[in-house]
Structure 1
Amino acid sequence: MARQRDDTSIRRNYGGLSSEERAAQRRERLLEAALELFGTQGYAASPIERLCTEGGISTRSFYEEMGSREALLIALVDQITSRAVQRALEVLANVRDQPLTVQVAECVRAYLEVTCHDRRSAKVCYVEVIGVSSAVEDWRREKRLLISGMLAREAEQSAARGEIAERRFDLFALAIIGAINSLAQELVQTTDPGTEITLDEICDEIAYLVNYGLSAS
Structure 2
Amino acid sequence: MTGRLRAPTGRYGGKTAEERQAERRRRFLDAALQLFGDTPGYRATTVAALSEAAGLSTRQFYEEFRTLEDVLAALHLEVNAWAEQAVVAAVTGAENLPLAERVAAIFHAYAANVTGDPRRIRITFVEIIGVSPRLEEQRLARRARWVDLVCAEAEAAVARGEAAPRDYRLAAAAFIGSVNGLLHDWNAGWVHATLDEVVEELVRQLLGILRPPEWEPPPGA
**Do they fold alike, i.e. is TM over 0.5?**
yes
Question: Unmatched 5+ residue regions in structure 1?
Answer: 1-10
CA distance in 1, matches of 2:136, 2:145: 14
Unaligned runs of 5+ in 2: 1-8, 216-221
- Percent of paired sites with the same residue: 36
Report the counterpart of residue 25 of structure 2 in structure 1: 27
**Map of 1:198 onto structure 2:** 194
Q: Which has the higher helix share?
A: 1
Q: Is the 8 A contact 2:91 2:102 kept in 1?
A: yes
Aligned: 1:14 with 2:29:
no
Tell me the SS of whatever aligns to 2:43: coil
Aligned to 2:206: 210
Does the 8 Å contact 1:101/1:214 carry over to 2? no
Alpha-carbon spacing, 1:46–1:198, altered in 2? closer, same or farther (3 Å)? farther
Aligned position for 1:67: 66
- Say whether the 8 Å CA contact 2:115–2:187 is kept in structure 1: no
- 1:48, 1:187 → 2: CA distance? 31
The answer to whether the Cα contact below 8 Å between 1:186 and 1:197 also exists between their aligned partners in 2 is: no
Which residue number corresponds to residue 6 of structure 1?
Answer: none
TM-score by length of 2: 0.85
Farther-moved stretch of structure 1 (29-38 vs 158-167): 158-167
Deviation string, structure 1 residues 148-194 (Cα, Å, up to 9, x no partner): 11220221232133321112211122122111110121123227xxx
Contact 1:123–1:188 (8 Å) recurs in 2: no
RMSD of aligned alpha carbons: 1.9
Residue 37 of structure 1 pairs with residue 18 of structure 2: no
**CA separation of 1:174/1:21 partners in 2, compared to 1, >3 Å: closer, same or farther?**
same
Is the partner of 1:153 in helix, strand or coil?
Answer: helix
Rounded to whole Å, the distance in 2 between the matches of 1:22 and 1:46 is 24
CA displacement at 1:197 relative to structure 2: 4.4
Asked whether 1:80 is paired with 2:75, we answer no
- Which aligned pairs between 1:165-204 and structure 2 lie closer than 5 A? 165-190=164-189, 196-204=192-200
Q: Please report how far the alpha carbon of residue 133 of structure 1 lies from its aligned counterpart in structure 2 after TM superposition.
A: 1.2
